[in-house]
Amino acid sequence: MMPKLPLIICLAGRGMAMVELEVAGEVLVARLFGEIDLKVADDLRSTLERALDNFPVRHLVFDFEGVSFIDSTGLGVILGRYKRLADADGRLGVTGLGLSVRRVLELSGILRVAEEFGSRAEALEAFGGGDAGA
């Protein structure tokens, strides 16, 4: 059994959390916040990579509830991390899609690859991640 990872908070610039990560079993859950664009892309990428390097993650869940804006640079970071897992039958879950986020997820085709859930808890249940994030 994997221990539940203590919350990792990654700060974007001065004091604003841009992502909070939690590992539950084989699922990495990332709650995104604010504007996900070029400004935070490098930090977000390396934060996610570090988590994937250090934990035996199979599936990814992104919670966009706190996201006010995301562009193709931000989506590239997400899809890039998912590609690491896709070959090993990894699944990609998304939740918390506001109007503008849904629009770009649709345009990018991510909504055809990802499974949408009503909450992080539902995603975790579907992906077998136990009760974390509930």
Partner 1 sequence: MLNRFRLEFPSRPENVALARVTVAAFAAQLDPTVEELNDLKGAVSEAVANAIVHGYDGAPDGIVIVEGILYGDAIEVRVEDSGKGMEDVARAMEPEFSTDPERLGLGFSFMQSFMDRVEVESSPDRGTRVVMRKQFAPRH
Radius of gyration of the chain (CA): 13
- Kindly state whether residue 128 participates in binding partner 1, applying the rule CB under 8 A: no
- Kindly state whether residue 121 participates in binding partner 1, applying the rule CB under 8 A: no
Helix (H, G, I), strand (E, B) or coil at 134: coil
Helix (H, G, I), strand (E, B) or coil at 105: helix
Of 9, 50, 54, 80, the one binding partner 1 (CB under 8 A) is 80
Instruction: State which of positions 42-61 bind partner 1 (CB under 8 A).
Output: 42, 45
- Kindly state whether residue 76 participates in binding partner 1, applying the rule CB under 8 A: yes
Cα–chain-centroid distance for residue 113? 14
Stretch that binds partner 1, among 17-25, 53-61, 96-104, 113-121 (CB under 8 A): 96-104
Residue 5 CA to residue 100 CA, distance in Å, equals 31
Closest approach of partner 1 to the CB of residue 83, in Å: 10
